[in-house]
Amino acid sequence: MNKKSQITLFIIAGIVMLLLIGVVIWLLKPVQIYQQTSTLAVETEPIKRYVEACFAQHLEEILPLIGLQGGYFGVPAYPIVYNFTDINLSILVPYYIYQQKITTPSNEQLQDQLNLALRLIAPDCKEIPEFPYDVQFEGDPLIQELSITNNSLSARVTMPVTINNHGSVYHMNSFYFVMGTQLGQLYKIAQKITESQHSLGNAICLSCIAEETNSTGIRVEITTVPTNDGFFVLYSLDEPKGLVFNFAHQFINQKSPREKAFEAIPTLEATLGYPFVYTVKAGPNLQFYDDTDLFDINRYNGTISFTPKSDDLGSHLVNVWSIDSQGKKDEQLFTVTVQGFGEAPTLEPTGIQLARVGKRFTYRINASSSSPQRLYYTDNTTIFDINLLTGWINFMPTKGDVGEHSINVTVTSERGITTDETMELIIAQ
């Protein structure tokens, strides 16, 4: 082999060695892994916040119906169609005792009902406002974790989302929201009343109701309705912020309770510092008794008379009973609410609000009261209808709405005292 060939071989071998060394160095070099997490948070955080707030807002608007139907959004397992003639409303009230068995919905069934509600509101929450990237939702939301306490409801929801930011694709799957509500407390009280009633059989347990609701501020109304094979008792639990929870107990092969010795006592409202008088409407030869510290009912004529003090503010569940000359006893449970005088609701300023055509507008009117009473929200515009119980405004502006609007929002307390606020709403293209 000549020297030229040897030199060529050395050069080739050297190049191969350099390549091998380069490969080894590259393999041993610490790998720079692309961390998607930090970029993902930047891309998804606004969408995450929007969807979670949307779920919480819409669910808050649906909770009154779930409460009226005893924890059900859909059709209860054992329903009664009950008509509230005074407000022209028919609802499905569930039996919590049916065929002498407890049929109270379980926590899992409550979760199923909330999932039904989420599927209904999902389309609205998928209407994402303008973002600088493409957002695609896949499938319906599903509650994976649900926690209901006396004063709150929280849920972890899965709903796959794909985000495309100029060719960079990201995925998000989990949402979490928490909201204040006493649905859990009302549900637990209904469970306890049902368990106590079931243990007694066919005797209606009024003392059970007092035991479970005293010192909670929750009012209770009881309605007995005859049926073909007996009767049922409808219970309505009413908490200070206005959430009502209904459920019923069935009594079969039983006669409806005999006619009362005195007429039903409605919810009574007294005012702090002002004398209050109410006389029970009853037949002759009765003696009356009560179980409350608010007043002492007149034993012989059934007159309730007292002047509320500051310690009496709030709702009180009272049991009054009568005994006739033959020793027969009749009793009734009712609520006495003591409120401050002239306490108008407090309404936070709304300021100037901006909405755009084709983009969903949501805003909540925030109001409060220094005494425990329900508040109602109304407006004077045809552009939207404010939610009567929650104060949420939720609508999609159209081209015909473009312009500046001065809208009067009124908050009314249970005593009829009102507070007004003017909201300046600008609707642009």
SS3 for 335-399 is EEEEECCCCCCEECCCCEEEEECCCCEEEECCEECCCCCCEEEEECCCCCCCCCCCCEEEECCCH
Among the candidates 181, 204, 234, a domain finishes at 181
Kind of pairing, strands 230-238 and 244-252?
antiparallel
Residue 154 lies in a domain: yes
Residue 189 lies in a domain: no
pLDDT in tens, the chain (429 residues): 554 445 455 555 555 555 555 544 444 444 332 333 334 456 678 888 888 888 888 888 889 999 999 999 988 888 888 776 555 667 889 999 998 899 999 988 988 898 888 888 888 888 877 777 788 888 888 888 888 888 999 999 999 988 888 888 888 888 998 988 999 999 999 999 999 899 887 777 777 787 788 778 788 888 888 887 788 889 999 888 889 999 999 988 765 555 567 788 888 988 888 899 999 988 788 889 998 889 999 988 899 999 998 788 777 888 898 888 677 888 888 888 887 765 678 889 988 999 999 889 999 999 988 766 778 899 999 999 998 888 999 999 999 999 999 999 999 887 677 889 999 999 998
Kindly state whether residues 358 and 318 are assigned to the same domain. Answer: no
Kindly state whether residues 399 and 384 are assigned to the same domain. Answer: yes
Give the residue numbers spanning the domain of 154: 36-70+105-181
Kindly state whether residues 115 and 60 are assigned to the same domain. Answer: yes
Contacting residues for 284 by C-beta, under 8 A, at least 6 apart:
none
Distance CA 184, CA 192 (A): 12
Among the candidates 341, 375, 402, a domain finishes at 341
Kindly state whether residues 364 and 337 are assigned to the same domain. Answer: no
Chain centroid, CA 30 distance in Å: 53
Residue 93 lies in a domain: no
Kindly state whether residues 46 and 132 are assigned to the same domain. Answer: yes
Among the candidates 308, 341, 374, a domain finishes at 341
Residue 65 lies in a domain: yes
Residue 318 lies in a domain: yes
**Bridge partners of residue 279, in order along the sequence:** 303
CB-count exposure of residue 5 (10 Å: 0-12, 13-18, 19+): exposed
Query: Are residues 125 and 58 in contact, defined by beta-carbon separation less than 8 angstroms?
Result: yes
Residue 116 lies in a domain: yes
Kindly state whether residues 337 and 409 are assigned to the same domain. Answer: no
Residue 311 lies in a domain: yes
Q: Which CATH number is 267's domain given?
A: 2.60.40.10
Query: Are residues 339 and 271 in contact, defined by beta-carbon separation less than 8 angstroms?
Result: yes
Kindly state whether residues 363 and 298 are assigned to the same domain. Answer: no
Kindly state whether residues 58 and 134 are assigned to the same domain. Answer: yes
